[in-house]
Each structure stands twice: as structure tokens, then as C-alpha cells.
Amino acid sequence: MKGGDGGDVAAAPGGPPPSLDWKFSQVFGERTAGEEVQEADIISAIEFDKSGDHLATGDRGGRVVLFERTDKKEHGGNRRDLEKTDYSISRHPEFRYKTEFQSHEPEFDYLKSLEIEEKINKIRWCQTANGALFLLSTNDKTIKYWKVQEKKIKKVAEISMEPSKATGNGNVYGSTVASTPKPHLANGGYTDKSYTSLGNDLLFPKGGIPSLRLPVVITSNETNLVARCRRVYAHAHDYHINSISNNSDGETFVSADDLRINLWNLEISNQSFNIVDVKPANMEDLTEVITSAEFHPNHCQTLAYSSSKGSIRLIDLRQSALCDKHSKLRQQSIVFLYRFVEQEAPGSRSFFTEIIASVSDIKFGRDGRYILSRDYMTLKLWDINMDSGPVSTFQVHEYLRPKLCDLYENDSIFDKFECCLSGDGQRVATGSYSNLFRVFGRHPGTTESTTLEASKNPMRRQVQTPSRPSRSLSSITRAVRRGGESSSVDANGNSFDFSTKLLHLAWHPTENSIACAAANSLYMYYA
């Protein structure tokens, strides 16, 4: 049941879950007041691994930074040992810096006279093996497969001469040649005649050198994290890579650019298989481009990709080797998830309609039943078994509709916001302007719609009046719309800062914890 003041009240059996109370957890790379942010330090990708014990971020400088979870290590052990302790075992995730490495460097394509920046576009974790971490990272043109593991440090234990017994002059030489300073003459000679020189850099003590020993290298107990690039997948995309997604089979992954999707084997870097090609024979006939691609989390043959026209196509790789003939899509039993179109009055369609309908990101739910998509104005939740329209639509930027002309002039209308789902599939989240992000409950009947700011006080910009879901305009689509125009505007009606935008965020796979990027700062929250 719901409280009249919008507070958290236990849900009735079978009803929607109660709203979450979000709290600040951690921040990495926090800026001080007035500190200028370097372009290379701005975070451009965030990704949790499947276990949620590791988090990776990429930035515009081509670096990948890894964080590891610490609360499990500090309170590790079996359940019986945990029950004997006084603290609660249900703590929110806490992370610490693990390591970082330079993934990509700026390049120049001399054939096309094109600069290739080092910015990391996407990061995807792969299956771990033998305690090592594996991940894929990509910039606009090149994908790299990285292995990160702890290696024991090797040290040189002995590089000295073997001690000897008495020599001809009765002196005993230690394990090293004497390193005491020797007085020099003006011409560079030595006053100590016990040393003879065969060269400028080679000195021998009088009576000769005892038997020499080869350097001994030992492995110490100290460890060091080493990142090594195992594969480089290059020269397969003519256009900028916008997404990569690894398959549930653990052996393959896909990479997508504006017009093509390629299938790779992790162990083969010199060839790939083109599975989707939407490039027309005449580029003047081009009407849409690919914006994102994602493998199904459980079915290795199923792939979804979105387009700039607001549609999501779900394809079965077993049906056809190449899915580039739009007229044959139905014959190949390829399921379409068409974008949900509201009933508009005649003449209400504008110049911006197709621009704001472009899908910037798609994510599968953990069970693979639902797909979450993000366009400029809304979040949409799709059921893969129902292609008549989305099952839920969440309004994110409806308050910006009167300002679309201004947003077009300053290019903000082309910003690509990411989206994510909770591990249990009950909530969805996405970013907005002024470093805000929105969390919606997707359960039928819920009014959960929370606005938080990426700061140490996330509820500072929260609007206390919850928005109420509006009724669906069509019973065919069974769409539920939540969030309203007022939910993204502060209580004083102040306009938001469009220069500060929260584009990248990720939800912990098993717990209610969100990591989001605000410029060069990584903020983490829990509920």
C-alpha cells in the first residue's frame, strides 16, 4: 500500500514493492570547488562484471581504471563464521581502487586523413579464468582484449662475487667489490696502487678476483597487478564503433558501427563475420543507422540491435547468415519490437520527431525477457514476446519538449544517454542534465519515480511530490507512462545546466547499488 505523503511503506502482498531510499556510498575523483576538469579525465564508460565484485571505468584519455569490492574481503568466511560476528552481513557494496592501464592511444588514419581519438567508448567484462580478469575495451576503430592478473615480483637476490678465503696479500674480500670512494689524481689516475685498471670502467683488486657467481633471481611473496593486451581486433569497421557485447557462450562477441555488426571469436583477431549490413547501394538512400547492439544474456543465438528510427530488432542468428535484406526479415522469422508511437493530433509531427526517437542505448534484463531502451525523451521497456509496443514508457525529458529548438542549436539534442536495469528487474535508471539521474519502478501500479543528483547529497534536488502514472491512451499497447513534466524540474522552477550531463551509469547485478559518472568523478549510491 502507499502512504499519503509518499513515504516508504511496506507493500501489500502482490502489490508493487516500496520505494527505495537512496544514500550516498562513495566517490572517486571528487573535484574541489573551482577545479578545472581535464578533457582526458572525463569518464566515458562504466561496467560492472557479472559477479558485481569488480567495476571498470574508461575515460576520454584512453585509460581503463579497475575497482574491486572490499566489504566481502573484510568480512569474508563461511556463513557459520559470519553468524558468530556482531555486524550485519547485509552491507552495501564498498569498492577501492585496484589498478589502471592505458588501453588506447591516439592514432591517425593516413588513408582517410582521419584522427582516431583514444576515448574509450565501451567496456565489457568477459569470463574469468585462473584468478585473472578479462575484459574488452574499444575506441572508435579498435577493440582490445585485456588480461589483468596478479603476478609475483621477481627480484635479483645476489649479484655479487663469492666470498673467498685469504688471497695473496692477506686481505679478505667480501661479497662485493669495495665501493668506498677512491681519491683521484688530476689526470684521472688512482693514488691507491692496490687497484689496477684494464679499462676506464673495469677495476680489479690486487691479487685477482675470486670466483664469480651468476645473478640469482628469486620470486618474492610480493605481488603486482599486470595488464596485458592479448588480442587486438582492428580494421573491421569503416565507421565509428558504438557498442560491443560479449556472448553468453564465452567464446564470441559482436561489435557494431553505424551500418554494420560484426561477429568475432575472442581467440581470432584477424577475421570477423559480418552478420548485419544496412548500408544501401547508394548512400543517398540511407534512412537509418545502427545505434546499439546487445546479445541476449542466456541465448547465444539471439541478438538485439536498435536504430536511429526508434526501432529495436531482435534477430536469431540461426535463421540466416546475413540479415541485411529488410524485405526478407519476416521470412526469416526475425521478431520486430517496433517503437511505441503515441496517438498524435494531425500536424503535430515536427522536424525533431525522428531525432528524439533515435535509440541511444538498449539493455536486456537479467532473465532476457525484457529489453530497456533509451531515446532522448523517454525510457521504454519492451517484452520480447510482444511487438505491438512497449509495456511501459517512462518520461525523462518531457519538460524539454518546448526547448527542442534551442537543444538542436547547441547540439544537446544529440546527447547519448545510457540506461540500466536492476538485477531483479523491478527498477530502471537513466541519466539526465545537471548531473541528475532518474530511478523508476516498473511494477504495475507503482508511482516510484526518484530524481537524484550525482553528489554527496543525492536528494538535494529531489522533488518531494511524486508523479502519478497517467492512463494508457491505447489498450493495444498496454503501455504504462510514469514520470511527469514536473519531476525533472526543481521545486523553484530553475532551468537546468545542459553543460553538465550524466550520460553513463551502471546498476550492480545483484544489489541495489548504482555507479554513475559526473565528468571525471565516479559516484556510488545504495538503497
Tens place of pLDDT per residue across the chain (527 aa): 433 343 444 444 567 788 899 999 999 998 887 788 999 999 999 999 999 999 999 999 999 999 999 987 555 555 555 454 454 445 678 999 999 999 999 999 888 888 999 999 999 999 998 889 999 999 999 999 999 999 887 777 766 555 444 444 444 434 444 444 555 445 445 555 454 445 555 566 666 666 666 777 777 777 789 999 999 999 999 999 999 999 999 999 999 999 999 999 999 999 999 999 999 999 999 999 999 999 999 999 999 999 998 889 888 888 766 655 433 333 333 344 333 333 444 566 778 988 999 999 999 999 999 999 999 999 999 998 887 788 999 999 999 999 999 999 999 999 999 999 999 999 999 999 999 999 999 888 888 999 999 998 887 655 443 343 333 333 333 344 444 443 344 433 545 788 899 999 999 999 999 999 999 999 999 99
Q: Counting Cβ atoms within 10 Å, is residue 501 exposed (0-12), middle (13-18) or buried (19+)?
A: buried
Residue type, position 318, single letter:
R
Q: Is the pTM of this model over 0.85?
A: no
Spatial separation of the C-alpha atoms in residues 30 and 26, rounded to whole Å: 10
Helix H or strand E encompassing 304: strand 302-307
DSSP sequence for 82-141: HHHSSS-S-PPP-EEEEEEEE----EEETTTTEEE-----EEEE---BTTBEEEEEE-SS
Residue 489, classed as helix, strand or coil, is coil
Cβ neighbours for 476, distance < 8 A, ≥ 6 positions apart? 388, 389
Residues whose CB is less than 8 angstroms from the CB of residue 178 and which lie 6 or more positions away in sequence, other chains included: 205
Give CA–CA dist 99/68, Å, rounded.
9
Q: Please say whether the beta carbons of 432 and 438 come within 8 A.
A: yes
Helix, strand, coil % over all residues of the chain, rounded to 5: 10, 40, 55
Report the DSSP beta bridge partners of residue 150: 225
Instruction: Determine whether 403 is exposed, middle or buried from the number of CB atoms within 10 Å of its CB (0-12, 13-18, 19+).
Output: middle
